[in-house]
Structure 1
Amino acid sequence: MIWHLIAAVFAGLGAAGIGLILRLASGKRLPRWFIPACGGLGMLGYQIHTEYTWLEHKQQQLPESAEVISVEEGQMFFRPWTFAFPMTTAFTIVDLDNLSVSQGDDGRLVEFILYRFEKEYVDQVNHQAYLMNCATREMLPLEGESRTPRTEQMRRVEASSQLYRAICKEG
């Protein structure tokens, strides 16, 4: 977080320096407020760039076996540009190297962990273990270290969903 603050300050200083050069090149015909306005726009531009590249930055930090299952975009009233261009606020991944595959009576059973990343003041990461029956497309959460199935929370997954295709693909 401190590095983003430092980078924003330097982006503002750089943009203010460009404003100063432009003011001097114009023979000081540009008003004096032009320099701090450029600094503010530089800081705002850095912040917007950081917010819109958050997903790509986080994906670079993940292992290659991590597959993005879903991406959530949102708008915020104090960021009016997000109404025209919604920004990513959360995404969910599954690590395909950490699947536990077994054969059950009904078919292939896959145990996996879903990781959910949320963009907040400090990024939040939540994880939950699940068990999916690929034949019936039923998925249920596993609770605790003992991985106790929560059958009351069982749900059916669509065959066209990204999660089902990632988890239940053969091979």
Structure 2
Amino acid sequence: MIWQLIAAIFAGLGAAGIGLILRQLSGKRLPRWIVPALAGVGMLGYQIYYEYNWLTAKQQQLPDSAEVVDVEYDSMFWRPWTYLYPLPVAFEVIDRDHLRTTEANGQRMVEFILYRFKKEVTDRVSHQAYLMNCSKRQWVPLIGDERQPDTAALREMGADAPLYQALCKTS
């Protein structure tokens, strides 16, 4: 967080410097307010750049065995440009190295951990173990240290869902 603030300040200083140079090159015909205005534009521009590249930066930090299965985008009224290009605010990842595939009653089961990264003031990561029944396209969270299925939370999944495709079609 501190590095983002420092980067925004330097982006503002750089843009203010460009404004100062432009004012000098124009023989001071440009108004004085161009310098702080460009500083604000530079800081805002850096912040927009950082927010749209958050997903890419986080994905580069993941191991090679990680696969992104879902990305959540959102729009905010105080960021009007997000109505045209929604911001990535969260994504979910599975780790291919830690999948456990078994057979039970002739049905293929995959046990996996789903990691959820959420962009907030400080990035938040949560994880939950699940069991996917590939034959019936059902998945259920596993709770406790014993990893017992929470059958009350059983959910169906479509065959075209990215999570189903990642777990059942390629593993």
**One fold, TM greater than 0.5?**
yes
For 2:15, give the aligned amino acid. A
Residue-by-residue CA offset, 1:31-53 (whole Å, 9 max, x unaligned) = 11110111110000000000011
Give 1:121's aligned residue.
Answer: 121
Residue 111 (1) aligns with residue 137 (2): no
> Any runs of at least 4 consecutive aligned residues in structure 1 with deviations exceeding 6 A, and if so which?
none
The more displaced of 104-113 and 4-13 is 104-113
Unmatched runs of 5 consecutive residues or more in structure 2: none
Give 1:80's aligned residue.
Answer: 80
Structure 1 residue 97 displacement after superposition: 1.1
Give 1:97's aligned residue.
Answer: 97
Q: How does 1:1-171 map to 2 (within 5 A)?
A: 1-171=1-171
Structure 1 residue 159 displacement after superposition: 1.1
What percentage of aligned pairs have identical amino acids?
60
TM-score if structure 1 supplies the norm length? 0.96
Rounded Cα–Cα distance in structure 1 between residues aligned with 2:16 and 2:106: 66
Unmatched runs of 5 consecutive residues or more in structure 1: none
Structure 1 residue 170 displacement after superposition: 4.6
Structure 1 residue 169 displacement after superposition: 2.3
Number of residues of Structure 1 aligned to a counterpart in Structure 2: 171
Residue-by-residue CA offset, 1:75-103 (whole Å, 9 max, x unaligned) = 11111111121111111111111101111
Rounded Cα–Cα distance in structure 2 between residues aligned with 1:31 and 1:146: 70
**Helix, strand or coil at the partner of 1:44:** helix
